[in-house]
């Protein structure tokens, strides 16, 4: 926090200076960079505290200046003002002690928190014996626990990708606290602050607010339309989950976590794009010596020909490519796990996928983090001249519905490649039932037929293989 600056004023008993001849209460106003965020605007606040002493206005300042504090006038009446001088000295010492406390702890109090502690130090208010848990500290410990059980097989264990979402939320709290020089606690995180928090994040993402770069962190990505509705929902749900966990642990929560209106309503997907066979072939035929582009090209081919989502692709390097063979069929496959849906499946590898893996010792490569990968995918599409245009509808958090025409190389992401698997097979006339044999083979039952379908994962993979063996209109999706 900033070093506090104190100014003194009188609580006037009359608007006419000529009639102010009786003692008036001295009010101290403390400025220390206290801020609040209202309707998207950053406002500074001062802490006002009574000195609990009165003084004649003529002993405080000049009538010509409406009795604004004047040190020369005040010192002139030093004998009659001696008691007040002592009170001011004691008052400012307590402010300095409080400032040192916050500086050592590297915390940023709100104006209310600062005033409450100052009144305790002045002996005007009893100290409340209770600990206040900060959102940042609780979330950091929560993430630590998730990291400890990652890969343990426990029911509440999460993948690295999902833990990363928690880390992003932690970073959001750090940015908010640093910018407003405040500390978020579960007690001061009321509904107003909750929405101010998201408005601030949206202003940063859209470039309305420019923050200093943090060492060790990537430069802030700017998106002119700010958060999409679905994009911010993910983090809203996470913050509510953290508040519920803190409440369960005995913390006092100001936010009504049962209020469903704290999370926006989901919208339809902003973009509905996929990479068709012709463009996949262009990607496959693109030659490069750049190692990043080689890995990215492998990702595009493998995800588009297996339907695996990013998390499954990242974990795939741990799995061995296996071979199935009977009297009439033979194919190579990989066993894939989907942490998001807690399912697993066996995916027969299409010829181009198998060919791609053979260039990497018949193993899935180790892929970079999703953010970097998405940047590289866009770059690869530009280099391979895969640049068709499509109409995108953005459902934004605070800017309404925005429609614009975009090139696929500006908006394509890893998730669109998974969709390409579904879309290309559907365009070939392959039914959803067949596709789901290798994408959601053991998902929850939705019908009696599904409930009683006890075929093994391998049997389902065989059925998928046999169906694509019949395919004659595709260059990539056939065995």
Own/partner long-range contacts of 117-123 (Cβ < 8 Å, ≥24 apart): 118/30, 118/47, 118/49, 118/94, 119/49, 121/94, 121/97, 122/91, 122/94
Q: What is the pLDDT of residue 215?
A: 64
pLDDT for the residue numbered 451: 42
Model confidence band, residue 390 (pLDDT cutoffs 50, 70, 90): confident
- State the CATH architecture for 277-469: Orthogonal Bundle (1.10)
For residue 475, is pLDDT > 70?
Answer: yes
Q: What is the pLDDT of residue 341?
A: 62
Q: Can you tell me the mean pLDDT for 155-177?
A: 91
Q: What's the pLDDT tens digit per position in 118-130?
A: 999 888 887 654 5
Tokens of 96: 């300095």
For 236-364, strand residue ranges (E) read: 322-325, 330-338, 343-348
Do 299 and 367 form a contact (C-beta atoms < 8 A)? yes
Structure tokens at 32: 């220390």
pLDDT in tens, 177-194: 999 889 999 999 999 999
Instruction: Output the DSSP codes for 60-80.
Output: TB-GGGTT-B-HHHHHHTTTT
Tell me if 35 sits within 8 A of 45, measured CB to CB: yes
Is residue 186 within 8 Å of residue 133, measured between CB atoms? Answer: yes
> Is 420 in contact with 304 (CB distance < 8 Å)?
yes
Domain ranges of the chain: 5-121, 135-262, 277-469
Q: Is the predicted pLDDT of residue 162 greater than 90, yes or no?
A: no
What confidence score (pLDDT) does residue 454 get? 42
Res 455 pLDDT > 60: no
Question: Rounded to whole angstroms, how far apart are CA atoms 47 and 36?
Answer: 13
Other beta carbons within 10 angstroms of residue 242's beta carbon come to 21
Quick one: which H or E segment has residue 41?
strand 41-44
Note the pLDDT of residue 65: 92
Q: How many CB atoms within 10 Å of residue 333? A: 24
* 142-171 mean pLDDT: 89
For residues 333 and 319, give the distance between their C-alpha atoms in angstroms, rounded to a whole number.
Answer: 10
| Helix-helix angle 229-248:191-206, to 10 degrees | 140
CA distance 247 to 104: 29
Strand partners, 26: 10
**What pLDDT is attached to residue 57?**
92
Q: What is the pLDDT of residue 418?
A: 92
Q: Is the pLDDT of residue 448 over 50?
A: no
> Quick one: pLDDT at residue 445?
42
What confidence score (pLDDT) does residue 450 get? 45
Chain segment 60-93, per-residue pLDDT in tens = 999 999 999 999 999 888 788 888 998 999 999 9
pLDDT at 167: 95
Q: What is the pLDDT of residues 366-375, one digit of tens each?
A: 999 998 999 9
**Dihedral of the CA atoms 453, 456, 458, 464 (nearest 10)?**
0
With H, G, I as helix, E, B as strand and everything else as coil, classify residue 455: coil
β partners of residue 391 = 405
Spatial distance between the Cα atoms of 174 and 44, rounded to a whole number of angstroms: 20
């Amino acid at each position: 926090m900033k070093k506090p600056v104190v100014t003194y004023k009188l609580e006037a008993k009359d608007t006419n200076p000529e009639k102010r001849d009786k003692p008036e209460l001295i009010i101290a106003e403390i400025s220390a960079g206290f801020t609040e965020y209202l309707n998207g605007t950053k406002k500074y606040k001062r802490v006002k505290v009574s000195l609990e002493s009165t003084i004649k206005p003529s002993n405080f300042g000049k009538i010509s200046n409406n009795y604004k504090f004047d040190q020369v006038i005040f010192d002139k009446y030093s004998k009659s003002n001696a008691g007040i001088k002592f009170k001011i000295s004691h008052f400012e010492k307590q402010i300095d002690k409080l400032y040192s406390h916050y500086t050592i702890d590297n915390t940023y109090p709100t104006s209310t928190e600062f005033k409450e502690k100052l009144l305790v130090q002045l002996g005007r208010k009893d100290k409340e014996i209770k600990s206040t848990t900060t959102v940042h500290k609780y979330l950091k410990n929560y993430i630590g626990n998730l990291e400890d059980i990652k890969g343990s097989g426990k029911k509440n264990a999460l993948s690295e990708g999902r833990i990363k979402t928690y880390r992003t939320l932690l970073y959001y709290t750090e940015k908010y606290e640093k910018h407003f020089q405040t500390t978020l606690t579960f007690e001061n995180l009321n509904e107003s602050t909750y929405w101010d928090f998201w408005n601030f994040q949206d202003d940063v993402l859209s470039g309305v607010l420019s923050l200093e770069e943090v060492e060790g962190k990537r430069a802030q990505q700017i998106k002119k339309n700010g958060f999409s509705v679905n994009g911010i929902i993910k983090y809203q749900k996470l913050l509510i989950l953290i508040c519920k966990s803190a409440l369960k642990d005995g913390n006092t929560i100001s936010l009504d976590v049962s209020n469903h209106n704290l999370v926006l309503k989901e919208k339809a997907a902003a973009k509905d794009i996929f990479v068709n066979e012709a463009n996949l072939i262009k990607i496959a035929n693109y030659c490069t010596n750049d190692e990043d582009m080689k890995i990215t090209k492998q990702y595009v081919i493998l995800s588009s020909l297996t339907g695996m989502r990013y998390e499954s692709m990242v974990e795939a390097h741990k799995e061995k490519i296996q071979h199935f063979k009977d009297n009439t069929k033979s194919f190579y496959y990989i066993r894939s796990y989907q942490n998001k849906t807690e399912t697993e499946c066996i995916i027969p590898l299409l010829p181009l996928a198998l060919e791609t893996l053979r260039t990497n010792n018949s193993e899935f490569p180790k892929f970079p983090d999703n953010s970097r990968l998405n940047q590289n995918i866009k770059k690869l599409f530009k280099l391979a001249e895969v640049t068709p245009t499509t109409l995108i509808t953005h459902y934004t958090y605070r800017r309404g519905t925005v429609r614009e025409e975009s090139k696929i190389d500006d908006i394509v992401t890893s998730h669109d490649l998974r969709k390409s698997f579904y879309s290309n097979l559907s365009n070939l006339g392959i039914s959803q039932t067949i596709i789901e044999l290798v994408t959601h083979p053991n998902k929850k039952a939705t019908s009696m037929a599904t409930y009683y379908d006890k075929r093994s994962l391998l049997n389902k993979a065989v059925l998928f293989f046999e169906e694509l063996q019949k395919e004659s209109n595709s260059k990539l999706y056939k065995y």
